[in-house]
Amino acid sequence: MTRMNLMENELAAKFAKRFAGASLLLDRSALAPATQELVKIRASQINGCGFCLDMHTKDATAAGETPLRLALIAAWRETTVFTEAERAALALTEEATRLADTAGISDDTWAAARKHFDDDELAALVCLVAMINAANRMNVIVRQQGGAYEPGMFAEFVAN
């Protein structure tokens, strides 16, 4: 059961609106939308965030992502359905999400990301990984439940 509805708390709702606004800025970045959703989903899988998994799998589906690719994100290394650029983004996402278990981002992982992404895309990727990990943590802390998200909900929230 959800411990606290952050949208009903004045401070948390103000923060969430700004947080969602920053996320929308990243949505409009040079980083490919499909890559962005893969990154959000993979970090959310690692962090066990049901709310974010609900949101980002539905957003990815609405954007045309295939059920096969969505089903294989957790095992991306053992598949052939992701591009080399997507694989580089997923590797960076995993290492950044598991900072406590790693020595940070390895030089090999950074070099692979650098090979596939220009400065603007790489900046967006770094910021995106940080943002989704923060969102995961907020939702896991309050036990925000997944299942009720509708694509586009947060764009409306930010606009109001």
Q: How far is CA 123 from the centre of its chain?
A: 14
Angle, helices 33-47/50-62, rounded to nearest 10 degrees: 160
Average pLDDT rounded to a whole number, residues 133-156: 89
Count structural domains, the chain: 1
> What is the distance of C-alpha 103 from the center of its chain?
21
Whole-angstrom CA distances from 40 to 4, 11, 59, 90 are 23, 25, 10, 9
pLDDT value of position 160 = 64
- The CATH code of the domain that includes 112 is 1.20.1290.10
- What pLDDT does 8 receive? 86
Domain span including residue 72 = 10-149
Mean pLDDT of the chain: 93
> What is this structure's pTM?
0.94
pLDDT value at residue 123: 98
Structure confidence at residue 157 (pLDDT):
63
Looking at per-residue pLDDT, the higher value among 21 and 75 belongs to 75
In a domain, 51, yes or no: yes
Q: Is residue 107 part of a domain?
A: yes
* In the chain, % of residues over pLDDT 70: 96
Is 157 contained in some domain?
Answer: no
